[in-house]
Amino acid sequence: MLWVMIMKMYHNPVLLEETIDSLEIKESGVYVDLTFGGGGHSNEILKRLSSKGKLIAFDSDMDAEDNLIDDSRFTFLRQNFIYLMQNLNFLKINAVDGIVADLGVSSYQLDKEQRGFSYNSNFDLDMRMDRHQETDAIKILNTYNEKSLADLFFKNGDLKNSRTISKLICDYRKKIKIKSSKQLNESLKSLLSKGYENKFLARVYQSIRIEVNNEIDSLKKLLIQIPALLKKNGIVSIITYHSIEDRLVKRFFKNGCFDNEPVKDNFGNKKIVFKTTKFISPKKSELKKNSRSRSAKLRTAKLI
């Protein structure tokens, strides 16, 4: 019954089977689901654990609490995953066998128009994962100066015309405060080329959402904790959805840092932290069922 409720709220998790298989789950192991959401990954992990196994799940979105799993092996923490180490220490867990994170916005969050993530609604813009935080999309759109807005569109969305986007928004808000997606879209109407509107707006809204939730800094803070928390041969699997976050995950898994080159010791030897595998993309059958999975990449690394 619980699984039916979850599926109604959050739909099918992306790359579910591939992600769980990648963790090479040990029956009595300790695992962490950093993005609980509808509980899709957590439920599958619990199916593969014995009575001695443990699963700790994180999610800062209060709506995720509607999907909690009644299982003595399961612990839920309504926390941002940047507090991973702090919470594991509190639970007296020194190391874990596997960690999983799905960095995408769920279909449930996108489709619930009141959450203000979608460019296809006329609700107030919000985009907060944690609705207790003060900064939302409305605040950013109406208080950031022109340069700051241009920077976020360039860094978070790889938008080459970021300065033009920023100027249009700033000119529009001089006349009226931008509160809804309809108003934001209207401010950018001169850039909406027929046939490319959705693709363009998706990157604009992505850029704002990343800024609202401080997603890039949070991902970096998470990644640097992982080597100290995995057991030897422990596995981390992360699903990314856009080039900015994917680049960070790829570099960290490959080099142990966010630079192009690995960290080196005093003798110039490379410090390789993880053994990596080629990323996995959704199969054609999954793409047919869920078009939102098209940009997903599953990256997996094993601690050496």
pLDDT in tens, 263-285: 777 777 777 899 999 999 999 99
Final residue in a domain of this structure, among 160, 191, 212: 212
Residues 258 and 293 in one domain: yes
Same domain, 228 and 207: no
The residue-averaged pLDDT of 156-174 equals: 97
Q: What pLDDT is attached to residue 113?
A: 58
Range of the domain at 91: 2-107+216-303
Of the three residues 212, 236, 258, the one that is the final residue of a domain is 212
What's the CA gap between 31 and 53, in Å, rounded?
8
pTM over 0.85: yes
- How do residues 123-138 score in pLDDT, each as one tens digit? 889 999 888 899 999 9
> For residue range 84-125, what is the model confidence (pLDDT) as tens digits?
999 999 999 999 999 999 998 765 555 565 666 777 777 889
Residue 119, in any domain of the structure = no
CATH number at residue 167: 1.10.150.170
- Asked if 60 and 153 sit in the same domain, the reply is no
| pLDDT higher than threshold 60 for residue 6 | no
Q: Which residue has the higher pLDDT, 272 or 170?
A: 170
pLDDT at 11: 55
Same domain, 80 and 14: yes
At 5 the pLDDT is 40
- Same domain (yes/no): 98, 231: yes
Read off the CATH number of the domain in which 56 is found: 3.40.50.150
Q: What is the pLDDT of residues 216-236, one digit of tens each?
A: 999 999 999 999 999 999 999
Q: Which of 195, 212, 229 is the last residue of a domain?
A: 212
- Strands (E) across the chain are located at 30-33, 54-58, 74-77, 96-102, 230-240, 274-276, 297-303
Residues 205 and 166 in one domain: yes
**Are 163 and 147 contacting, i.e. CB atoms less than 8 angstroms apart?**
no
Q: Are residues 208 and 245 in the same domain?
A: no
- List of long-range contacts for 158-165, beta carbons under 8 Å, 24+ apart: 158/203, 158/243, 158/244, 159/203, 159/204, 159/207, 161/191, 164/191, 165/191, 165/204
* Cβ atoms of 82 and 214 closer than 8 Å: no
Percent of the chain with pLDDT strictly greater than 70: 93
Number of independent structural domains in the chain: 2
Residue 8 pLDDT greater than 70, yes or no: no
Q: How confident is the model at residue 163 (pLDDT cuts 50, 70, 90)?
A: very high
Least Cα distance to 208 among 287, 128, 131, 288 occurs for 128
Burial of 110 (0-12, 13-18, 19+ CB in 10 A): middle
